[in-house]
């Protein structure tokens, strides 16, 4: 996980939004006239960083996950798919059922990759976020080991 991640940080989810992203450039591309075949609806989590363990220390990160979210602001997702012309390619909102749903106001440890474009990306659906408990403590032994290894590298 340490090697796969360019950035490891803890932070509080402050927002959930959606964007059409060009998978090649990592940039938003909502144009209905776009001929780019590498565009897809993405869920964007805005995170207020509380501590950085690896990578660039910045106050806010935006994490992009392929697909939308089932049961969350579906009209917004559908409208974005329609405006961008992607409903011609997809019969509805593409959703990755393995991606976790993060909660606004909750704190997590994140393991992400920042490549080209404007967003961090997950390393794996089941390995990119670990939730803190209500006392601000992380209970996952895996997450504790990630933090320890990141601090020692």
- Give the tens place of pLDDT for each residue, 30-79: 999 888 888 999 999 999 999 999 998 999 999 999 999 988 999 999 99
- Does position 134 have pLDDT exceeding 80, yes or no? no
Per-residue pLDDT, 140: 86
Please give the Cα distance from 67 to 44 (Å, whole number).
10
Helix, strand, or coil (residue 46): strand
The residues, any chain, with a CB within 8 Å of residue 146's CB and separated by 6 or more, are 1, 2, 8, 53, 109, 111, 130
Cα separation values, 44 from 28, 89, 102, Å: 11, 21, 11
The average pLDDT across 10-32 equals 94
More confident residue, 98 or 22: 22
Label the pairing between strands 120-122 and 60-66: parallel
Bridge partners of residue 7, in order along the sequence: 112
- Does position 4 have pLDDT exceeding 90, yes or no? yes
């Amino acid at each position: 996980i340490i090697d796969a991640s360019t950035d490891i940080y803890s932070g509080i989810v402050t927002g959930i939004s959606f964007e059409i992203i060009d998978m090649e450039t990592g940039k938003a591309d909502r144009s209905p006239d776009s001929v780019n075949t590498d565009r897809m609806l993405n869920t964007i989590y805005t995170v207020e960083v509380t501590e950085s363990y690896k990578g660039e220390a910045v106050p806010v990160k935006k994490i992009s996950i392929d697909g939308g979210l089932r049961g969350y602001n579906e009209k917004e997702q559908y409208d974005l798919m329609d405006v961008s012309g992607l409903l011609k390619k997809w019969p509805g909102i593409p959703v990755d059922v393995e991606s976790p749903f993060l909660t606004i106001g909750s704190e997590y440890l994140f393991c992400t990759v920042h490549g080209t474009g404007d967003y961090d990306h997950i390393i794996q659906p089941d390995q990119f976020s670990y939730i803190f408990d209500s006392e601000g403590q992380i209970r996952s032994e895996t997450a504790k080991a990630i933090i320890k290894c990141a601090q020692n590298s």
